[in-house]
Each structure stands twice: as structure tokens, then as C-alpha cells.
Amino acid sequence: MTTDNHASKYAANRFSIAPMLDWTDRHCRYFHRLLTKETLLYTEMVTTGAIIHGKGDYLAYSEEEHPVALQLGGSDPAALAHCAKLAEQRGYDEINLNVGCPSDRVQNGMFGACLMGQATLVADCIKAMRDVVSIPVTVKTRIGIDDQDSYEFLCDFIATVAGRGECDMFTIHARKAWLSGLSPKENREVPPLDYPRVYQLKRDFPQLTLAINGGVKTLEEAKQHLEHLDGVMMGREAYQNPGILARVDSELFGRQTEVMDSVAIIESLYPYIERELSNGTYLGHITRHILGLFQGVPGARQWRRHLSENAHKPGADARVVEAALDLVRLPRTEVA
């Protein structure tokens, strides 16, 4: 699905932005969509318990975000099926099961990376969701956990989930996860990346759609991965240096489109800011996602500072962003 009449020759999962807790909320996704029309966007992981029992609307998103996938956390097939059905009714384009997050709070809830050790349960979860929805149901996982990190272990996991669970799309974070002893941050950095193992997985399971995640920092790196795999997922680099996303549609999807400059991107965000403020959203909840847009541009430091110091003040509105933008527009000798 795309937001206009353009039909890409590539599937949306050719390039995606990783689900990141506390980062890829709906404001972040709206902003990212201004930069790239083709990229598949993911929600933060949402637990089945939050959706079923929570007081807030954990499935809220803006129509402009499509294509957008919901990442679920859980291990009860019936609860996952219920949430998947709700998500499909709300218009999500994909459901993704988290089998990769190693944090303690995730393990205690019996979901995330610890599920790699229970392939049959993961398969049953996927099958339960596939039985009640028509949109894709996918898995995001690691290459192993703890001492279960052999290639054979990974193959057995994929074969079970693909066979019994009828899952045909996986995103593989090319690191194993240590379920104890490392923080979530360390689990993103300490276990070594093993891209060749994921490439081999594609050769051994050519019928599956496989995307790679982990350590991807440039579109050139993404292109190299796409020579071996069906898709690439970028995480923190896309968030911290969002300007990189402005070139995705042309470089990775072959879309003939004019790249908007960063100032125009921010100006196109104003109507959304006004809409959200009128609904009670605080400006800072939106502007925290745009701080990195002008990386390396004169005035970038002043841009970040002005937003950080003023967006949380009472009554802060789009004028705060306009004033910050003027700091980037002005000719400066200092480079942030």
C-alpha cells in the first residue's frame, strides 16, 4: 500500500524502520512518512495485555502512516489472535510478533527473544493469528539466544515457525541475544553481527521472504544487503539521523521523485502539529523526534537546543518550531 497513485515495483518490506520502544510512536511515524512514502513503518512493540486490558487506545495511528505494521508482544495464541483481528479491523497492513527483544520486563511477560527457545509455541502463535486475519503475519527474531547459537538451532527455529506456523516472512536481527547479563542496549552492541549467517539462511530457505536488521547505518550498506536478501530494516540510524530517509524512495525503491529539503519537511509538519495540539498533545512529544534532522548543517546545534529548551513550556506551539527553523536558515560560520 502506498499513500498515492504511485505503485512501486518493490514490496514495502524492502526497506523498513525498526520498531523501537519509546521511540517509534505515532508522532515519529508521521514525521518519517513525510521523508519516505515507500518505507514500511513499525509501531513500538505493544503487548497483548495492553491492548486487551489497557485504558488507552494502543492501536491509534494516523491514516497518513500507511504502510504501517503493528508489532505485538505476547505468547498466548488466543490473545494474539484477538489483537491481530482488532489490528486488521483498524487498518494495519501487517502484524509482527516480537521474538527478538531481550529485556527483563519482556522475558518476565514471556515474550521477546526468550521465545526463540520455544519454536513450537511461536509457530502456534503465528498460526492462530494467520487463521483470523488476511494481512501478513511476520516474525522479528535473532540468530540465537545464550548458548543456543548454532546455525542448526536457527534453521530448526525457522523451519518450525515456517512449517507449523505457516509464516513466510521473517526479519532477522543478525546478533544473538543474551537473556541475562547484558542490558537491552548492550544486547544491541556486544554480541557480534553475523551477516553471512542470515545470507546463508536465505540460500537454505529461498521460498521465504527474509529481511536483515542490525548495525545498518547507510543506504549503501542497505543496497549491499539487498544483493543477498529481500529486505533491510534500519533502526537507530534512521531515528537519530532521519535525513537519510529522504533518499530511500529514489535509491532503494526506484521512485522518480524530487527529494524535499529538510526545511520544507518541517514546514509540511505544521498542520499535523496544529491538529495534535488541538487534541491535547504536548509539543515536546512531537518535536523530540525531529531533533536530528539537520545533522551536520550549520545551525543544527541551535535548532536542537531551542526545541529542547522550549517545546515543553506551557502553551508551546508551532511558533517554537518556526523560531528553531530560523536558526538553521540563517547563514552561520559555526557548523554543529
Give 10-residue mean pLDDT values along the chain (336 residues): 53 95 97 97 96 95 97 97 98 97 67 92 98 98 95 98 98 93 82 96 98 98 98 97 96 88 95 97 97 94 97 96 91 44
Rounded Cα–Cα distance for residues 277 and 293 (Å):
21
Specify binding-site residues for FMN. Answer: 19-21, 71, 140, 173, 213-215, 235-236
In 10 A of CB 237, how many CB atoms?
19
> What letter would DSSP give residue 13?
G
pLDDT for 92 equals: 98
Return the pLDDT at 189: 83
Q: Which three cell numbers stand for residue 267?
A: 514546514
Active site residues: 101
> What domains can be seen in the chain, in order of their start residue?
13-251 (3.20.20.70), 260-327 (1.20.120.1460)
Instruction: List, in order, residues 6 or more apart from 169 with CB less than 8 Å away.
Output: 13, 136, 138, 139, 208, 209, 210, 211
- Model pLDDT, residue 101: 86
Cα gap 328→336, rounded to integer Å: 10
pLDDT value for 104: 63
Q: Could you tell me which of 11, 74, 28 has the C-alpha nearest to residue 288?
A: 28
Residues 114/145, Cβ–Cβ less than 8 Å? yes
For residue 205, CA distances in Å to 118, 136, 169, 183, 196 come to 20, 18, 11, 32, 14
The whole-number pLDDT of residue 335 equals: 38
At residue 122, φ and ψ (nearest 5 deg) are -60, -45
pLDDT computed for residue 180 by the predictor: 81
* pLDDT tens digits for range 233-280: 999 999 999 999 999 999 999 998 887 889 999 999 999 999 999 999
Q: Which residues are part of a known binding site?
A: 19-21, 71, 140, 173, 213-215, 235-236
Q: What is the pTM of this model?
A: 0.93
The three-class DSSP label of residue 97 is strand
pLDDT digits (tens, 9 = 90+) for 20-44: 999 999 999 999 999 999 999 999 9
124 φψ region: left (φ > 0), alpha (ψ -120 to 50), beta (else): alpha
